[in-house]
């Protein structure tokens, strides 16, 4: 069964399965990009049919959600489809440990991070990330509605919103990229403001004119607070960009 879920080029199940609408054969996104010609033409490795890729390459092809669904069912090591605790098998799971690749109930997750060996492990609440109708991970998001969808939901819900349905991981990556760009712009302006402010502050502190100092000091203080807020915002964005 697992062999049927592998890309027939790289023989792995790691890549995102993309399907050719002409012949309905599928391969992972990375492999398609690797064998594509500069003019975005490709010969299907299975049937040799001539395929014209979208301008954006393999990532703009339709994702084979049927294969993703089968992978989720067959290969998931975390018992996500049943949503049960990996330790207390008769208790519903509430958290996922990213380091252990395991699900834990509320009590087990609390005990898990108390152990010194696991205190740096990242546990996420999964109760909002599992479809209650099908007990599967949410993998898609419809930005038109908006709502989260599992693969089975998408077969009956938002079927006419194809152009608005995206993979959650894809949306997360886009948001991280956008936040990184904002952070970089903010850091550049912060460095510029600090460079401009430093000699001005030095002049105020050393100025012998008391009235001038009393007039300028409150304004300098406001500028320092303003720059500090920028620095704090940059720090927050850095943390958001680094979160999984």
DSSP string computed for 115-151: SGGGTT--EEE-TTSB-TTT--B--EEETTTTEEE-T
- Predicted local distance difference test score (pLDDT) of residue 242: 56
- Predicted local distance difference test score (pLDDT) of residue 110: 87
Q: Is 19 exposed, middle or buried (0-12, 13-18, 19+ CB in 10 A)?
A: middle
Q: Which positions ≥6 away from 131 have C-beta within 8 Å? A: 137, 138, 148, 149, 150, 152, 153
What is the distance between the alpha carbons of residues 128 and 126, in angstroms, rounded to a whole number?
Answer: 5
- Predicted local distance difference test score (pLDDT) of residue 213: 61
- Cβ proximity of 69 and 17 under 8 Å: no
- Predicted local distance difference test score (pLDDT) of residue 77: 44
Helices then strands, each counted (H, E), the chain: 5, 11
- The predicted-structure confidence for 8-63, as pLDDT tens digits, reads as follows 888 887 788 899 988 889 999 888 988 888 788 888 888 888 888 988 888 888 88
Strands 62-63 and 17-19: antiparallel
The values of phi and psi at residue 117, to 5°, are -70, -25
- Predicted local distance difference test score (pLDDT) of residue 211: 66
pLDDT per residue of the chain (244 residues) written in tens, 0 to 9: 456 788 888 888 778 889 998 888 999 988 898 888 878 888 888 888 888 898 888 888 888 877 876 776 555 444 444 467 887 777 888 888 766 767 888 888 888 888 877 777 778 777 667 777 777 778 788 888 878 888 788 777 877 887 788 887 777 777 777 777 877 777 777 777 667 777 766 766 666 666 666 666 676 667 667 666 666 666 665 665 555 5
């Amino acid at each position: 069964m697992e062999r049927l879920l592998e890309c027939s080029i790289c023989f792995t199940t790691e890549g995102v399965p993309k399907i050719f609408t002409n012949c309905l054969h599928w391969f992972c996104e990375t492999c398609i990009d690797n064998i594509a010609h500069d003019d975005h033409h490709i010969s299907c490795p299975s049937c040799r049919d001539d395929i014209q890729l979208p301008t954006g390459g393999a990532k703009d092809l339709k994702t084979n959600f049927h294969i993703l669904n089968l992978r989720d069912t067959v290969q998931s090591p975390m018992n996500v489809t049943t949503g049960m605790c990996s330790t207390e098998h008769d208790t519903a799971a509430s958290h996922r440990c990213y380091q252990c690749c395991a699900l834990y109930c509320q009590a087990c997750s609390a005990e898990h991070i108390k152990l010194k060996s696991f205190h740096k492990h990242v546990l996420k609440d999964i109760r909002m990330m599992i479809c209650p109708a099908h007990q599967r991970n949410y993998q898609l998001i419809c930005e038109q509605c908006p709502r989260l969808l599992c693969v089975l939901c998408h077969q009956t819900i938002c079927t006419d919103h194809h152009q608005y349905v995206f993979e959650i991981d894809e949306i997360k990556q886009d948001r991280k990229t956008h936040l990184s760009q904002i952070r970089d712009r903010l850091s550049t302006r912060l460095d510029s403001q600090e460079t401009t402010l430093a000699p001005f502050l030095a002049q105020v502190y050393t100025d012998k004119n008391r009235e001038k100092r009393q007039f300028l000091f409150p304004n300098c203080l406001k500028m320092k607070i303003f720059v500090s807020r920028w620095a704090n915002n940059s720090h927050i964005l850095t943390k958001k960009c680094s979160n999984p």
